[in-house]
Each structure stands twice: as C-alpha cells, then as structure tokens.
Chains A and B, each alone.
Chain A
Amino acid sequence: MSASETIAVVPRQSGAWRRAVLRGGGRLAATVALAIIVIFVLLAMSADDPAAALGSLLSGPFTSSFRTGQWLSDSANLMLSGAAVAMVFRAGQFSLGAEGQILVGALAAGAAVLHLPSFPGVFVVGLTLGALAGFLFGLVPGLMKAYGGSDEIVSTLMLNYVATYGFALLINRYLQPASAGYPVSDFFDPAAFLPSLRIGQLTIGLALPFAIGCCVAVWYLINWTKTGFEMGAVGASVPFAQATGMRVRRSVWLSMALSGLIAGLAGAVIAEGSTHRLIVGLSANIGFDGILVALLTANRPLLIPLAAVAYGYIRTGGDIAQLSSGIPREVITTLQGFLILAVTARAPLAWIRHRAGRRRPAHGGPVIPGPAPLRAAASSQRTGS
C-alpha cells in the first residue's frame, strides 16, 4: 500500500526460489556431514578398524555388480514408497500408513500370481491388484478422517499393525507350504517376476524406471491437475478450501487412497521384483524409510529419485558393511535414526507450526516465521512450475 511496505516486499521476493534451494541444499549438506561424523564416532566405538569399516560402508555398493543392482533395486522401492508419502504429505494429510499398505499390496499381488495360471505378463495382473489393494487399504483411514474426523496419524499407525499381523496370518493359513517352518509362500512362477534388463554384469529391474515414472506422475498430479491443486489447497488451509467451494472431504480421502495406491504398487514391486515370494518382513521397513525420503526432499516429487538413491546407498552400504567388516547392524540403525531425527526435527515441527500457527499471535508478539521447509516447498513449487 504505502511505499514503505513495497520496500519490504521487493527484495524478499526476487530470487526467493533460488535462495530456498540454496538453503535447502546447505541444510542437506550439513546433515550429511554430521551423519558421517556420527557414523565415524559410532564405528570408532564398535569396530576394530573404524577406517576400514567406514570404507566398506561407503564403497560397498560398488564392490560388485550384484551389489550395485541390489542398491538400485532397493532405491526403486524407496522411491515408490517416498512418492506415496510425499503425495499424501503434500495434500496435508499426515498418513504414516505406507508400511501397512506395502504389505497389503504385496499380499494381493502375491496371492494373485500364486493362484493364477502362469502366462506371460501375469506380473501386470499382480501389479494391478497390488495397487488396487493399496488404494482400498488407504481409503479406509481416508474415509475415517473425512467422515468420522478420526486422526489419520493414529488410524494409519494402527492399521499398520493390522496389515503386519494380517499378512503373517494369511500367509500362514493359506499360502505357507507344509515344509516351511515360518510364514513364507512358495516362489512365484518366473512369468510373475518383474522383468529386468541386463547391461553387462549389471541387472537393472523394470522397477527403477517404473518408480521414476511414478514420481513424475505424482509431480504432474500435484502441480498440473485440478485434483492436485485441490489437494494442495486443502492441505494448506481447510477454511480456504471450503470458502472457495472445494470438496474438502473428497480431497482428504482421495489423497490418502491414492497414496495407498502407490504404496500398494511398491509392495507388489517388492514381491515380484525383489523377494519373488511372500515372506514375513518383506517390506524391510521401506514404508517408514519412505517417510524419511519424502522429508529429505521436503515432499518435492521430482527430487525423490535422487534422495531415494542416496538413502538406498546408505541402506545397502550398511548391509554390506555388516557382512564384510563386522559392523553391528545397530550402528546402521542408529545412523538411520540419527538421520531421521536430523531431518524430521525441522520438517514436521515446521509443518505442525504451519498447521497450528493460524491462530492469532497472542499479545501482538512477534510472529516468528522460522524455517518451514514444507511450507517453503509448497510455495516455491507452485511458483516455480
């Protein structure tokens, strides 16, 4: 309005996007540097030769083409899971149900390919059913929130237990061969394996391009479609979405169900592409690590492949280091925990503040904008695209 206000506005606007990227990149670099220090301290305490152990952790994924393939396959699974989480977080729903949805998706895909007669392309049927199962399993907490007002954090976490134990129970009852001593199914027919490409020694599964495609699809949905716009608006402000005539409930359940769809797909991809059978512990925590991947990118779908590959590197490196240099598994888990803390301590706090901060500041005190990576992501992505 007045000139003084314009002065305040102009310099902050120019280059805001670039500065946000720089700030985000700087924080990421600081986090990684801190992580390496923490790893080293942990190794110094637990390994005989910390330098060698660190070396095997860092170089592990490159020591053989099999290991590289394993890394890329793990990364693809993380990408799908991360895309599922980023999608639902961008819609403002704090769903933590990817883990359970992955299991349900894997179960549906596995049950289908185990019972169907083998024919070329049967793996597509598995993927489709896995996606559908994930959609329905995501729809449940979505409808509970949209029409019953239940908190999605609680409901999705509880449904994870339903999925985990239901998964084991159903395998035990219906799919477990008599010879097996624990809940595991037979191997699938090779026609139900996810196809893969051999480049020299290296095997790259179809999962990788497929997962990247999913990230792009999520990006497109959020940025370029009406449905995605509505989800973003509902996520940013329910009163606003209501006051502009949006279907808030539909947006809530749809975003949670679509996220479930992607997670279900991830489950089918893991079963058909990695384990080739149903087995307890199949998800290997991918659902929760997907949350970490999404938070690392501040829910930017196009950055998820990058973050997933980086995080998959640490996961695979940790597995290899455990085998080759006797680093206890706990070191890796501790490191992962540290990373989650380092990232989430900022992101969800900012997100919660963003959500709760709509109340008027009491006593006209200064409003502290603070670091809000998620909010920054929401605005800069809209501006940037």
Chain B
Amino acid sequence: MVATTRSSIGSGFSVLMTNHDLATVEPHGAGEPPTGPPYRLEAVKLSKAYGQLTANHEVSLRVTSQSVHAVLGENGAGKSTLMKMLYGVEQPDSGQIRLDGVPVKLPNPKAAVAHGIGMVFQHFGLVPSLTAAENIALGVEPGRPWRIDKREILDSIGALSDAMGLHVDLKRPVARMSTAQQQRVEILKALYRGARVLILDEPTALLTPQERRALFDAVRRLTEAGTTVLFITHKLSEVAELADDVTILRRGHVVGHGRHADFNTAQLVELMVGGRPVTARRAPAPLPTAPKAASFTGLSVTGSQGREAVHGVSLDLREGEVCGLVGVDGNGQLEFLEGIAGIRPVTAGRIEIGGVALRRWTHRRARAAGLGYVPEDRLSAGVVPAFPIVDNMFADRITYGGYRRHGRLDKSRMRSEAVRLIEDFDIRCTGPLQPAERLSGGNIQKVVLAREISRGPKVLLVAEPTRGLDIGAAARIHEALADAAREGTAILVLSSDVDEVLAISSRICVFHEGRLVADLVNGDEVTAEIIGALMLGSAEDGPADSPAASPADVAPPAAGGGA
C-alpha cells in the first residue's frame, strides 16, 4: 500500500487513477476472496473514553465503497472522536478498524494516509504564505531530495484537479483564497497523497449555499472516480442532499444506521436528539411602526489590514426588530458590527442609539448608551474560560461600578443573581462558581447571552450566535433572542449560517464588498438561494433570479448600491 501510494505521487495522476481501478478490482492487493461484503471501511465496536466521559461506546460503522456516508449527530455526540480514531489521531480503547475487510492498526495519521485515508478538518492545516500547489505537495514532493520538480508538481496536481472538477488557482498563495477555495486545496492535498477514503469534518460550516452546492457536486464526482467519502454533519438538509447512507450517533452510541432513503426527516431528528422536544424556532416578529432604536448613517470602518472594510453604510433599527446580517466571510459585515460595537475604529459616519448621538465612539461609551454585544469568538472574547460563571456574567456591570457595597464587591449579591440567571437561561452547571471552561459550548453561549440580555440593552449586537452548537442549544439561544426582541430590544445578528438568519430574523441585510447591497423584509418568498446570490454580488455566477427581480421588498435605504 505504501509503495503504491508513493508511485502515484511519483509519476503523476494517471497512476493514481489506476490505483483506484486496481483497488476496486482487487482490494488491498491481498488476494482475498471477494465474497465478503464490499465495505471499504469498517469500524467494529470502537470504544473510546476520556476519563469518566465515554465519547464512543461500541460504535460500529460500515462504509460501502464509492458511497457518500454521513455521520449525523449533535455536538458532543462523539462524531469527531470516531473520525479521529479512523484517521489515527486517537487510539480506540477497544474495537477494530477494517479496510476492505482487513483489520488495520492506525497508530498515527501518517499510517492512515499510507492506508489511503485522508481527512479534511474543519480548521484547515494549510501554510498561508505558500501557494496551493506548494501546500498540496508539501512533504511528498516528487523529484530528488535536493531538487523539487515544480513543473511535475503543477502538471500532476493540475490533472488531478481537472479530473475531479476541483478547480483552484494553483499558483496563488493560500492566504489570498476564500474558505471554499482553501477547502478544495485541502481535498486535493488528501487526494494527492493517495486518499481513497476521504473524511470531511463539517465541510459546509463556513460555506455559502452556492459554495456548498459546488462542494457537493465535487463530492459526487469523487465517488464516481472511485473515492469513498465519509462526512460529519449535524445538518439534516445535507444528509438529504448528499448522503447515500447515514449513521446516527447520540451520546457516543450508534442509534441508527442504514440507507438514507430509509429514514424521513422526523425520524432522523428523533434519533439525533433522542425524543427531546425540539422547540420550533420562533417566527420572526412582525415589523410594526415601532420607534427607532438606533440609527447608523454613512459608517466607514477600518478592517484588520488597515484598509477600509466598510464603505459608508447606513442602517436604521427599530425596537423589537431582529435584523440578520449576512455576507460571504470578509465582505465587511463583521467589521460593520464591530464598528458599531466600538471594537473597531469608525472613520466616518454617525451613530445614534436611543436618539442620542455619541462622539468618540468606544465600546465603553457604546455600552453606556445601551448597547449589548455578543462577540464572534465566545471562548476568547465572550468569556474568560478560567473565571467562574458569576464573574463572567457580571464583568460588564462590575466595570461600570455595579455590585458594590461599602466600596467593595458585593459577591453574595452577585452570586444570588447569578443563580437566578442560571435558572432563567437554563444553564447546565454545578453552580455560579463553576469555571466557564467546564461548560459545554451551548452553555457558555448562554452565559454570554445572560450577561448581555439581562442588562436590558436597547440594541443587541450578536455575532455567530450558534456556531458549533447543536440543535437543542441553538433552539434555546434563538428563544432567548426572540424573548429579548419581544421586550423591545433591537437585535442585529450576524451569522454565516444563512438558514439560521432566515429562520430567526424579521429583516435581512446582505453585505458585499463592504457595502450593504440588499435590505430585505424576511418572508416565505426569501430563500437561501436568493440570499446566496446577493452575497456573491449576484451579477456574476448567481442564479437566474437577480435581486431586483426577487420577490422580496427591497427597502429604500440600500445604501451604497453595490456593483
């Protein structure tokens, strides 16, 4: 196996294809009788425990050759642990992994690669300054040790990407690529190393609907060319669109498996969450002629690279409104939100909250004016992981002089109020003194929301409210946001999950290249496709329905009017 992998790298893509053909005819070159089931990859009763937590309990998985197999489950269900065992990152406590019926030991990822298993992690492992081709060939360069044959690298990778329909500019540094392009580079990297089983960890988490479609097309082509694909997801829609087979995990156990066609959506949800009632996401609040909560006029915001990332965007928010903010990563929507929050310098424009305009806009002043802020990265900016829940909950109020008695912090009052908020927001913990780092992601986010909502803000800015959270936790977060909106808070919520924005907001603002290109009232006729086309600038490869022709109302202040 090692030898064949080497040869495929050494002499280019044609040999690689031969490998695929060979492998299907004669699995593993071991000459076993082809009587057994044609499972390319099989996990037999794998168990893995971390201390007292059983991450996987006798998990079995059977992946048919050239199929797309989805592993479905909520966060914490044990999907990632299973994949890490299959890729040699983690070692099972018991159980067996079989490739083409032959038991294999995978002590490390290198061994997995040698066996033709490749994995694309959620967070890519690419060197930003190197080009796509350099990243793909890194460590397995053809040629002699002292001279790398760059032409051969480009030729063989080019052939591979053409055959698989995974088109990337091979000479472009990865740092200047979009997430979707980087993902393609990662997939090519795995294939170039001879992967015939490809594991994708939540591959769509950071993609737009269009990019997701392109990825799915590519996955289809891969399976036609002989690759077997295993992907982790917690999104039911992806299982429906892509998977042939599905295995459902819950709390480390396999609770269902089979052909995808054998299950309907309700059954999948039931299996995934285990009969726990999943509250329907709140319907968006209707937009009354409510008073204005905030008004942003002609805002320009500087981005991370010192360049202007937002160009003169104007937006008004009404009380009780949930306004979704979407855009492809890096199109200014995050900078806009952080500019309003006072985290980034606003170079031009006017910000009014509750009718009061403020000069010298800083986050401290913004908060004093009635702003709440749920940052994008909850573990670094949302909470201090080592601090207890109570300190995380009231950090903002303490810095404004709250909770003081006789000049010192009134810790007993803080604790009793924390207990109340823990109940209100249904935070699962051992008490207010438990450090935040011991909580699950969903509960950490609830701590952040409890802090921000309990202040009673006029305007609440929320970035990525449920990223990485499971359905149950996401539903509670959405409920909390809906409750806050009902109390009259104007909520501006940024999410890279278009489905989420569609489900919870009453209004959707789309950013493209630093400008607000659409400001739509959300309704049944607004779909992920329409939003996706707007996110991509809609002039180019968008679908037929252009934004002007879209059935949604386009509100007048579509400032800037992109491209």
Contacts and interface: CB of A to CB of B under 8 A. Distances in A.
B28 interface: no
Nearest to A17: B433
A1 B399 CA distance: 30
Q: Is the interface of A mostly helix, strand, loop or mixed?
A: helix
A23 B430 CA distance: 23
A20 to B, nearest CB: 12
Interface string B355-390: 000000001101110000101010111111011100
Contacts of A246: 364, 395, 399
Contacts of A230: 398-399
Interface string A346-362: 00000000000010101
B429 A3 contact: no
B251 A3 contact: yes
A379 interface: yes
B364 A245 contact: yes
Contacts of B439: 9
A7 B388 contact: no
Interface in A91-123: none
B404 interface: yes
Given A3-B251, A9-B429, A229-B398, A236 B364 contact: no
Contacts of A14: 430
A243 B362 CA distance: 11
Interface string B224-259: 000000000000000000000000000110000000
A234 to B, nearest CB: 10
How large, as a class, is the contact surface on chain A? 35 or more
Contact of B387 (A236, A239, A364): A236
A8 B51 contact: yes
B53 A363 contact: no
A230 B396 CA distance: 10
B440 interface: yes
A236 B383 CA distance: 10
Given A225-B409, A382-B388, A9 B123 contact: no
Given A4-B252, A8-B51, A9-B430, A363 B121 contact: yes
Contact of A229 (B343, B381, B391): B391
B438 A226 contact: no
B391 A243 contact: no
Contact of A245 (B400, B438, B440): B400
B54 to A, nearest CB: 7
B339 interface: no
Interface string A226-247: 1001100100110111111111
Interface residues of B, number: 66
Contacts of B84: 364
A352 to B, nearest CB: 15
B384 A236 contact: yes
B123 A363 contact: yes
A362 B123 contact: yes
A379 B251 contact: no
A358 B53 CA distance: 24
Contact of B435 (A244, A379, A385): A379
A237 B442 CA distance: 20
A179 interface: no
A139 B277 CA distance: 58
A161 interface: no
A244 B386 contact: no
Contacts of B314: none
A296 B456 CA distance: 44
B103 interface: no
Nearest to B391: A382
A63 interface: no
Interface in A1-52: 1-14
Given A6-B428, A7-B52, A13-B434, A245 B380 contact: no
B412 to A, nearest CB: 12
A249 B451 CA distance: 23
A4 B251 contact: yes
B380 A240 contact: yes
B74 interface: yes
Contacts of A1: 75-76, 428, 440, 442-443, 470, 472-473
Given A4-B54, A10-B430, A13-B438, A383 B398 contact: no
A2 B54 CA distance: 12
Nearest to A359: B380
Nearest to A246: B399
A224 B76 CA distance: 37
B201 interface: yes
B429 A4 contact: no
Contact of B89 (A9, A220, A365, A383): A365
B408 interface: yes
B435 A383 contact: yes
Nearest to B392: A240
Contacts of B434: 9, 13
Contacts of B381: 237, 239-240, 242-243
A41 B384 CA distance: 45
Nearest to A8: B53
Nearest to A251: B399
B33 interface: no
A378 B386 contact: yes
B388 A383 contact: yes
B140 to A, nearest CB: 17
Contacts of A385: 411
A11 B472 contact: no
A6 B404 CA distance: 33
A247 B364 contact: yes
A237 B383 CA distance: 9
A92 B457 CA distance: 30
B438 A12 contact: yes
B125 interface: yes
A239 B380 contact: yes
Given A2-B251, A243-B382, A385-B411, 17 more contacts: A2-B440, A4-B54, A5-B76, A8-B50, A13-B434, A230-B398, A237-B380, A242-B363, A244-B367, A245-B364, A245-B400, A363-B121, A366-B89, A375-B386, A379-B435, A383-B388, A383-B435
For the complex of A and B, 8 pairs with smallest distance between CB atoms: A239-B381, A8-B53, A379-B386, A245-B367, A244-B396, A236-B384, A243-B381, A224-B408
30 contacts: A2-B77, A4-B54, A5-B76, A8-B53, A9-B434, A13-B430, A14-B430, A226-B409, A229-B399, A233-B384, A237-B384, A239-B375, A240-B395, A241-B395, A242-B343, A242-B363, A243-B373, A244-B399, A245-B363, A245-B368, A246-B395, A360-B123, A362-B123, A364-B84, A364-B123, A366-B89, A378-B386, A378-B387, A379-B388, A383-B433
